[in-house]
Structure 1
Amino acid sequence: MTPDLILPYDGVLPVFASRPVWCGRGSTVIGTASLGAQAWLGDDSVIRSDGQVITAGERFWLGARSTVHIATESLPTHIGDRVTVGRNAVVHACTVGSDVVIEDDAIILDGATVGDGVLIEAGATIFPRSTLEGGFAYGGNPAKRLRPVTLAEIAERAERLREAADESATGPDPVPPEVEESVFVARTARLSGRIALGAGATVLFSCELAAEVGPIVVGADTNIQDNTVIRTRGEGVVIGRDTTIGHNVRMNDCRIGARSLIGIGSVLAPGTVVADDVMLAGGSTTDPGQLLEGGHLWGGRPARILGALDPKKRAMMAHIVEGYCRHGREYRALQDAEG
């Protein structure tokens, strides 16, 4: 069995030590990724290695709608043996040891190091450059050490995650919409309803955009990254131009301004208004109707102002937008060539 979608990056295809045990619908592996024997990839799981390498050891288990990615120009992702990742989790530009369990909705951010024999509890956020000593359970946002754990408990929690996985198909295979040449919509993305994508917009792998009531409007050169889900049940969603929506974000019926960044795994409640020039840290949430004023870094659950959006952060956000415009052009060419 092979992933639903395999694409090269910079001419390099992923490497599998042996044929995966299971690859769910919409599972995607891209670029310079190397997976050990007995890999298991759930529905809509994404491993995207487009700039740095990703390595995963033997018996790597990746749950439905989970994402493994790198920091394009700076940090790889390395994962040890017997690592189990639950559903809707993100492992991003970090190092993870062996015999680790990462439960549902957990997030590991750039530069973090996770030791052997670690349990990361559901919904936890591992902040950038954190070090998690082996042999302990961690939870919270930011994640804190909770208690010691044994390898027996690690194995039990891993088995529990695997048994809870629901890999049943949820609908027909996605059919990419007709879009102009500057727009990229991944073949594994699912779009339905009234959706407008501005010139240069990028909708990446296993995203779901469902305009069930109001429309979804995405501005020019805005990128929506892997496994993000956007739904409308009221007035709709409008996202300004030159904005980044990170991996595994959840939102409905909200407004997001131009030149903003919504961090990995964030959840935006209905009625949220994000002004222009806002950076929302990974793993954050908002309250219904909350206003995030422009010119600030926001973060937390619920989000609060953490500091000013200084020139360095603004430049970083603009650089991400430029990079994803380039990625979109590259992936459209690869997808078109695949047919």
Structure 2
Amino acid sequence: MGTLGRAAYTFGFWIRETGQALDRLGSRLQGNYFFQEHLSRHRTLMNLFDKVPEVDREAFVAPSASITGNVHIGRSSSIWYGCVLRGDANSISIGTGTNIQDNSLVHVAKSNLSGKVLPTLIGNNVTVGHSAVLHGCTVEDEAFVGMGAILLDGVVVEKNAMVAAGALVRQNTRIPSGEVWGGNPAKFLRKLTDEEIAFISQSAINYSNLAQAHAAENAKEFDKIEFEKVLPKKSTKPDEEYDSMLGVVRETPQESILPDNVKAPKASA
């Protein structure tokens, strides 16, 4: 075989091998596409059996939340990013003006040591902090559950009571109104002050207001989002309206306060 023949043979072999490699890649991509199509379909609201989630039109549910089955969410409540509310074995009820913050889990009890079948009931104007776990329990109106707290089956948190961050509240524990409980297992720490009780109500209002801003942003269509990218950026100064929603008061640093006899320099043209 001459030089030209060997070159043609080598080129043909390369073409054949490349074609087979592309076929294998195509099959792999098609398989991945099939896998994603059938196993990675996130649904924010999902029916289960004959149970359908009921969400008030004025409630905010983040797009990455998962709400399944027999779940009721009242007006002006907010379910934040990454939350899971699974009403499969029983029901979950959330009142008005309540916020369930990011990555929290709410489930129900079908079987436990006491043999009780328990729903999860959360009242009005309740704040549930980030990454909390509520399981087959009751949280009454204007109560506060701190970040990372765990409430087990049969727990009752009375109105204007507070569970401290990271607390583990054992089965069938009742936390009386006006008290703070914390620790593992959770125990009575002290009485709440009047200011702290007022803070619980204000926290719920702040989150209800903030949820409206998130709902408006999530409702924007793709074209509007892309258009806003080319607009001049807003001032980097603190947003007073946003601060007001969160109850934040920003103080001007002492070194930035000019004496009365000194005028601020004019901005250059």
Following TM superposition, by how much is the alpha carbon of 1:179 offset from its aligned partner in structure 2, in angstroms?
3.2
| Equivalent position of 1:331 in the other structure | 214
| Residue pair 1:212, 1:233 contacting (<8 A) in 2 also | no
| Equivalent position of 1:222 in the other structure | 98
Q: TM-score, normalised by structure 1?
A: 0.48
Following TM superposition, by how much is the alpha carbon of 1:328 offset from its aligned partner in structure 2, in angstroms?
1.3
Q: Please give the secondary structure, in 2, of the residue aligned with 1:283.
A: coil
User: In 1, distance between residues paired with 2:146 and 2:40?
Assistant: 28
Following TM superposition, by how much is the alpha carbon of 1:174 offset from its aligned partner in structure 2, in angstroms?
2.3
1:180 aligns with 2:49: no
Question: Structure 2 vs 1, CA of residues 188 and 210 (structure 1 numbering), >3 Å: closer, same or farther?
Answer: same
| Residue pair 2:138, 2:156 contacting (<8 A) in 1 also | yes
Question: Structure 2 vs 1, CA of residues 219 and 288 (structure 1 numbering), >3 Å: closer, same or farther?
Answer: same
Which of 170, 178, 181 is the matching residue for 1:295? 178
Q: Please give the secondary structure, in 1, of the residue aligned with 2:212.
A: helix
Matches within 5 A, 1:113-124: none
1:305 aligns with 2:183: no
Gaps of 5+ in 1: 1-168
Deviations 1:27-46 (A, max 9, x none): xxxxxxxxxxxxxxxxxxxx
| Residue pair 1:266, 1:282 contacting (<8 A) in 2 also | yes
Following TM superposition, by how much is the alpha carbon of 1:178 offset from its aligned partner in structure 2, in angstroms?
6.7
Question: Structure 2 vs 1, CA of residues 271 and 329 (structure 1 numbering), >3 Å: closer, same or farther?
Answer: same
User: In 1, distance between residues paired with 2:128 and 2:62?
Assistant: 15
Q: Please give the secondary structure, in 2, of the residue aligned with 1:323.
A: helix
Q: Please give the secondary structure, in 1, of the residue aligned with 2:196.
A: helix
1:266 aligns with 2:149: yes
| Residue pair 2:94, 2:123 contacting (<8 A) in 1 also | yes
| Equivalent position of 2:77 in the other structure | 201
Question: Structure 2 vs 1, CA of residues 229 and 188 (structure 1 numbering), >3 Å: closer, same or farther?
Answer: same
Question: Structure 2 vs 1, CA of residues 170 and 258 (structure 1 numbering), >3 Å: closer, same or farther?
Answer: farther
Matches within 5 A, 1:125-164: none
Give RMSD over aligned pairs.
1.8
| Residue pair 2:55, 2:72 contacting (<8 A) in 1 also | no
Question: Structure 2 vs 1, CA of residues 208 and 171 (structure 1 numbering), >3 Å: closer, same or farther?
Answer: farther
User: In 1, distance between residues paired with 2:58 and 2:171?
Assistant: 34
Amino acid at match of 1:209: L
Structure number with higher helix proportion: 2
Gaps of 5+ in 2: 1-37, 46-52, 111-117, 223-269
| Equivalent position of 1:284 in the other structure | 167
Between structure 1 and structure 2, the one with the greater Rg is 2
| Equivalent position of 2:122 in the other structure | 239
Amino acid at match of 2:119: G
Q: Please give the secondary structure, in 1, of the residue aligned with 2:55.
A: coil
Q: TM-score, normalised by structure 2?
A: 0.60
Structure number with higher strand proportion: 1
Amino acid at match of 1:199: R
Matched residue count: 171
| Residue pair 2:109, 2:153 contacting (<8 A) in 1 also | no
| Equivalent position of 1:150 in the other structure | none
| Equivalent position of 1:16 in the other structure | none
| Equivalent position of 1:114 in the other structure | none
Q: Please give the secondary structure, in 2, of the residue aligned with 1:297.
A: strand
Deviations 1:115-151 (A, max 9, x none): xxxxxxxxxxxxxxxxxxxxxxxxxxxxxxxxxxxxx
Following TM superposition, by how much is the alpha carbon of 1:171 offset from its aligned partner in structure 2, in angstroms?
5.7
User: In 2, distance between residues paired with 1:172 and 1:291?
Assistant: 40
User: In 2, distance between residues paired with 1:170 and 1:252?
Assistant: 27
Deviations 1:229-280 (A, max 9, x none): 1111332100010100000001211111110000000011111111111111
| Equivalent position of 1:250 in the other structure | 133
